[in-house]
Structure 1
């Protein structure tokens, strides 16, 4: 982590600013064609949202995790807030607003691939005033800001500015991909797109390691400190001022890829907050993402720290 202004360094937490949703997931042998109805073989209703999933992952990784977000006043409110609290996440800066909680409608086929429609609902109520209150309460104890793009883009930008000014390490998961103000990129220490998001943001078709490195250099050209591009079964590539580093994927049998990126981001942020070297934090994050795809669901598939360490040990 970056040293606090004044030289103090008593920070070890992850401050997550992002979405909180109820995930409605249907499982079937294949995804239906447009206009087609098919029979599925499973259904889950669980806590989700990229922000919430990442906060839970950071907590499971062993870092104090603090969530900043909004939930509705509907029946899903208890499901999501209790889920966060039960996972050890600080929810003191989660605000209840009138109306429905955010929803993600997910479909998963037998290969583990998915498609997702996210409806922000309560997440759209997160505003700069709430961010300011959260930073006043939690910034002094938080080493890393982890944020995404399932909340209003202006709010994401405001949180990044506040974290940068507070001397925190800023990790941006740019999902779902959306063009950002160019002034934001120099404030981001690590950006973590997958190949699709990297392509949408950079305009570079990312199909292999070489094109991933090219896209990574595009992010550096925008001012980001480092770009960590995940390539699913092909691993991940880290591009920074020191060069390029490859992180091979760990072999697993995929059941459902939902939340794999969230596990990766949460474990990465936790590792950085705990003082791990960047490469070691990436390796732990990669193992967490790999384990996540071996189970169904979003937050229920996020692995415990002991599972991650066991997988890393098994693969040397």
Structure 2
């Protein structure tokens, strides 16, 4: 179990408020058309959920990761909690509630592309009192908040406001994309949509670097300090009020894109909490995302920091 830093040291923890699921993933040569059945070639049952994946990634990155979320009272709960614990994530603020643990059904084809249906279940039981307790216990020892949109929006918004007021760096992964209250953007330090999510949120069709920059400016015009638009093999662009920075992707052979964005967010949060500047933190996060797509599954595909550092060195 990770320990909070001494009162004289700078906070280095990462607080993750978000979803915890068990991922049921099928692999097949192609995805079925509507009403069609295809034969698959593999199946996995592992820890998932954007919140849990980001927490695992932050832990593997070397960060002091603290998960805030809910699991159910079913047989899947042990798998979920055990996966977090095994990755070195602090689970003191993971609550067990009556009923089933959240589930995500993921389908992956031979190109590595996927589609996902996520059923929140226990994740819907996350409450303000649980978030308050986590901030009371950990707010002074954490430097970064990671959060997403697989929990009720009111709880995401509440957590962002708490983190902003406590002086934490707020990183919002706006997935799955949905229309949000624009009052939240001035409280967000870094928003990290992929091109699809950026298109949905801004109404700008993100198809290339120029349109990604336009989408990034949509976020900063509404108060976000930074917008980091990720575009898979096309790299990423960082947009702030006064500059644009481009990041080139690392060429890899993609097997499964599941959790690539979560790896990116977890490594970004842990790297910033550990003291890296934003440029170097993004470069490290891109290395983590690149390695993730070369492996199957959600949490099992998340890379250890030694592998990420070796990739970046090469």
TM-score by length of 1: 0.96
2:163·2:170 contact (CA, 8 Å) conserved in 1? yes
The runs of 5 or more residues in structure 1 that have no matched partner are 1-6
2:202·2:215 contact (CA, 8 Å) conserved in 1? yes
Q: 2:56 aligned with 1:56, yes or no?
A: yes
Summarize the alignment of residues 194-273 of structure 1 with structure 2, pairs less than 5 Å apart. 194-273=194-273
| Distance apart, 1:9 and its partner CA | 5.9
Aligned-partner SS, 1:144: strand
Instruction: State the partner residue of 2:96.
Output: 96
Instruction: State the partner residue of 2:23.
Output: 23
Aligned-partner SS, 2:217: helix
Q: Residues of 2 paired with 1:78 and 1:203: CA distance?
A: 41
Aligned-partner SS, 1:239: strand
Instruction: State the partner residue of 1:4.
Output: none
Deviations along 1:58-112, whole A, 9 cap, x unmatched? 0111110000000000000000001100110000000000000000000000000
Instruction: State the partner residue of 1:79.
Output: 79
Displaced runs of 4+ in structure 1, greater than 3 A?
Answer: none
Q: Residues of 2 paired with 1:111 and 1:181: CA distance?
A: 36
Q: 2:304 aligned with 1:304, yes or no?
A: yes
Q: Residues of 2 paired with 1:259 and 1:19: CA distance?
A: 13
Q: Residues of 2 paired with 1:251 and 1:242: CA distance?
A: 29
| Distance apart, 1:242 and its partner CA | 3.1
Q: Residues of 2 paired with 1:72 and 1:144: CA distance?
A: 27
TM-score by length of 2: 0.97
| Distance apart, 1:178 and its partner CA | 1.1
| Distance apart, 1:180 and its partner CA | 1.4
Q: Residues of 2 paired with 1:198 and 1:17: CA distance?
A: 21
The runs of 5 or more residues in structure 2 that have no matched partner are 1-6
| Distance apart, 1:241 and its partner CA | 2.3
| Distance apart, 1:257 and its partner CA | 0.2
Instruction: State the partner residue of 2:125.
Output: 125
Instruction: State the partner residue of 2:279.
Output: 279
2:27·2:107 contact (CA, 8 Å) conserved in 1? yes
Aligned-partner SS, 2:105: strand
Aligned-partner SS, 1:137: helix
Q: Residues of 2 paired with 1:33 and 1:180: CA distance?
A: 31
Aligned-partner SS, 1:296: coil
Aligned-partner SS, 1:38: coil
Q: Residues of 2 paired with 1:161 and 1:217: CA distance?
A: 22
